Amino acid sequence: MQQTCLNCGMSVNETMRSCPKCDNALNLQHDGSTITVDIAHQGERVSEALRKMQSEIDLARKDVAMCIRLVVGSGLIRDEVLLVLRDLEFRGDIKGFESEPFNAGAVLVKLK
């Protein structure tokens, strides 16, 4: 699969870490956008919501979005999501995360 370097426009393989033309780090490039995904309001159990979250984060990290907004509700799924996100941040898989100030049922995850 191919991706486009946002710095110079060269089409490169998605497995490359830097652009061979301009040497820009491809995994850090973003367009400033945010993807919103609801992982808790379609009858998901905690384990299903966590799998859905990880899958969506993996997909979004390959994209040019800077953040992913996870709609998690205010119950047990939210608590478990926050625990997993702490671990992902510690491992360096995400840059950071925070609960939305006026919406406790959503978490903003910074990917790049």
Question: What is the phi/psi pair of residue 47, to 5°?
Answer: -60, -40
List CB contacts of 59: < 8 A, sequence separation 6 or more: none
What pLDDT is recorded for position 71? Answer: 96
Helix (H, G, I), strand (E, B) or coil at 52: helix
Distance CA 43, CA 51 (A): 14
Cα 77 to chain center, whole Å? 17
Predicted confidence pLDDT, tens digits, the chain (112 residues): 777 887 888 888 878 888 888 888 887 777 878 999 999 989 999 999 999 999 999 988 878 888 999 999 989 999 999 999 999 999 999 999 999 989 989 999 999 8
pTM of the model: 0.79
